[in-house]
Structure 1
Amino acid sequence: MRVIPDLVTTHRVIVPDLPGHGASTVTTNDLNADSVTRWLDELIEETCSVPPTLVGHLLGGAIAARFASNQGDRIQQLVLVDSLGLDRFWPSARFAFGLFRFLVRPTDRAYHSFLDQCLADRNELIEQLGDDWKPFLAYNLERARTPSVKAAMRTLMKEVAVPTISPEKLARITVPTILIWGREDRAIRLGVAREASDRYGWPLHVIDDSGDDPKLEQPQSFLDVLYDELDHDSYSERTA
């Protein structure tokens, strides 16, 4: 919600709900890595006349990386933002405890406590969002309390996000790939991104004063990096 209004002024943007997220529902029991990559392939087929740039964040990053390793010819560029799947999921102890407590009891208090582990500065974000903070909070809590969403999230984490994508598969990603990472990410720490950057030659852009969601906490810094990588000439014209 903090970057799409800007992005659509210069690019055609497709923003799907992941399966079981947002307003979507999952009506089958075959939610796994293969079915999710098939869903993404069908989405691209239905919405994109040319190979798109694929941007994935956290769970979405794991889906995007798995897709690119098998069907790189379907996209022109890959952007992974604090992505799961690149290495073993080994968050900080406080992050893990906050996540577990929120998943067990998604209360307002548990969510605020968990956000303190996700964000570099929760109070700063509240101030930035202003009147949008309360609906943002209410929406996330409502989704977290919805049984179908909880079930889909558990399955996707188990089947897609937490299992490490093998180095052999990641090495099959041949499209230009960049990494964008929050410096204070406690879930998928910066060392994961640095190792992937060194191993595969993917440029790494670190966003200061951000946890695991730089587009939420530092939208302008995120957009600066993304525009520069997507289309430098377009960005230059836009800011001229």
Structure 2
Amino acid sequence: MSTLSPQTATLHGHSLSYLDSGDGSAVLFVHGLLGSHRNWAHLIDRLDDTHRVVVPDLFGHGASAKPMGDYSLGAHAATLRDLLDRLGIDRVTLVGHSLGGGISLEFCYLFPERVRRLILVGSGGLGREVSPLLRSATLPGAELVLSVVASNWVRGRAESVGRVLSKAGWRPGSDLTALWQGYASLGDADSRRAFLATTRAVVDPGGQSVSARALLPEIAKIPLLVVWGTRDRMIPPWHATAAQAAVPGCRVELFEGSGHFPHLDEPDRFAEVVRDFITETEVSPG
């Protein structure tokens, strides 16, 4: 796990937290809903020997600001573009997980000249289906329910139960651990407001409300790798076939037995897949 300290950039009057390590061609990691740079930090040491690795906390997440305003895919994509400008980075390999995949797809559509290649991990934006857990956040009254279930009292009781189960030999998987960390970040009103605004920008009671399928042929010139866990219960793995069908030459890697966070389940394999994809899609000068 990387021990880097986050840096801060002020964009449009708000602070954006990020990690930046290594030299070489840049790789920009974009986390999902309720995530942060912590979802990717364990990969930095596996890649920054040959690449410059940039890992931000999106606005509304992690240590970044949680302002009132626009939490749409386009707004997040524009923020990432502004961060790259601030860091003097012209083009990147984009790696987007879940919501971050949807943001990455939007980035490719808006700023294709800034993208060398695209890696989608359990990505949003490729189909209507999504977990009922996320759909419930779009229902009336979700604000009140979330303020109760994310309260210190409820979280404290859940942690106590977890400690008892751990003593009995239970070990939570990567999905549950990552989701719990995200859930635990909703203890304050600003974080809950940003979470609900972000969720409602891409999900409605029927499922995902934003689709990138129509955009895929338009970004087909960008090399595309899709990674999915075969036991993903947040977004079904067959969504990977949508990208494969729409983009000739799209590479798909299925992580057998992994859930929504294959990069946490098998970090060494994931880093190797990323390295291999970057190498095989490198264009020689001239």
Using the TM superposition, give the Cα deviation of residue 177 of structure 1 relative to its aligned residue in structure 2, in angstroms: 1.1
Using the TM superposition, give the Cα deviation of residue 166 of structure 1 relative to its aligned residue in structure 2, in angstroms: 4.2
Distance 1:137 1:154 in 2: 15
Change beyond 3 A, Cα 1:166–1:61: closer
> Does the Cα contact within 8 Å between 2:73 and 2:102 map onto a contact in 1?
no
- Whether 1:185 and 2:232 are equivalent positions in the alignment is yes
> Does the Cα contact within 8 Å between 1:20 and 1:149 map onto a contact in 2?
yes
Aligned residues: 217
Mean Cα deviation higher: 192-201 or 74-83: 192-201
Distance 1:110 1:62 in 2: 31
Change beyond 3 A, Cα 1:95–1:160: closer
Larger radius of gyration: 2
Using the TM superposition, give the Cα deviation of residue 182 of structure 1 relative to its aligned residue in structure 2, in angstroms: 0.8
Question: Who is 2:275 aligned against?
Answer: 227
Question: Who is 2:9 aligned against?
Answer: none
Question: Who is 1:176 aligned against?
Answer: 223
Distance 1:83 1:137 in 2: 16
Using the TM superposition, give the Cα deviation of residue 111 of structure 1 relative to its aligned residue in structure 2, in angstroms: 8.6
SS at match of 1:29: coil
SS at match of 1:26: coil
> Does the Cα contact within 8 Å between 1:178 and 1:203 map onto a contact in 2?
yes
SS at match of 1:168: helix
Greater RCO (CA < 8 Å, at least 6 residues apart): 1
Moved over 3 A (4+): 93-97, 100-104, 106-113, 136-142
- Whether 1:144 and 2:190 are equivalent positions in the alignment is no
> Does the Cα contact within 8 Å between 1:95 and 1:186 map onto a contact in 2?
no
- Whether 1:214 and 2:262 are equivalent positions in the alignment is yes
Question: Who is 1:196 aligned against?
Answer: 243
Distance 2:133 2:72 in 1: 28
Using the TM superposition, give the Cα deviation of residue 112 of structure 1 relative to its aligned residue in structure 2, in angstroms: 11
Question: Who is 1:57 aligned against?
Answer: 97
> Does the Cα contact within 8 Å between 1:77 and 1:176 map onto a contact in 2?
yes
Question: Who is 2:149 aligned against?
Answer: 105
Per-residue Cα deviation, 1:114-155 (whole angstroms, up to 9, x for no partner): xxxxxxxx83648xxxxxx8xx78854541223222211211
Structure 2: unaligned runs, 5 residues or longer? 1-40, 162-169
- Whether 1:90 and 2:138 are equivalent positions in the alignment is no
Q: Report 1:131-170 matches (<5 A).
A: 140-160=182-202, 162-170=208-216
Distance 2:135 2:67 in 1: 29
SS at match of 2:68: coil
Using the TM superposition, give the Cα deviation of residue 227 of structure 1 relative to its aligned residue in structure 2, in angstroms: 1.1
Question: Who is 1:205 aligned against?
Answer: 253
SS at match of 2:91: coil
Distance 1:64 1:233 in 2: 18
Per-residue Cα deviation, 1:22-51 (whole angstroms, up to 9, x for no partner): 111132323323322221211121224331
> Does the Cα contact within 8 Å between 1:182 and 1:207 map onto a contact in 2?
yes
Distance 1:86 1:137 in 2: 21
Report the residue type matching 1:228 in the other structure. D
SS at match of 1:65: helix
Mean Cα deviation higher: 171-180 or 152-161: 152-161
Q: Report 1:117-132 matches (<5 A).
A: 123=171, 125=173
> Does the Cα contact within 8 Å between 2:102 and 2:212 map onto a contact in 1?
no
Using the TM superposition, give the Cα deviation of residue 232 of structure 1 relative to its aligned residue in structure 2, in angstroms: 5.5
Distance 1:230 1:34 in 2: 26
Change beyond 3 A, Cα 1:30–1:41: same
SS at match of 1:178: strand
Aligned residues: CA RMSD: 3.4
> Does the Cα contact within 8 Å between 1:25 and 1:148 map onto a contact in 2?
no
Distance 2:191 2:210 in 1: 23
Report the residue type matching 1:78 in the other structure. L
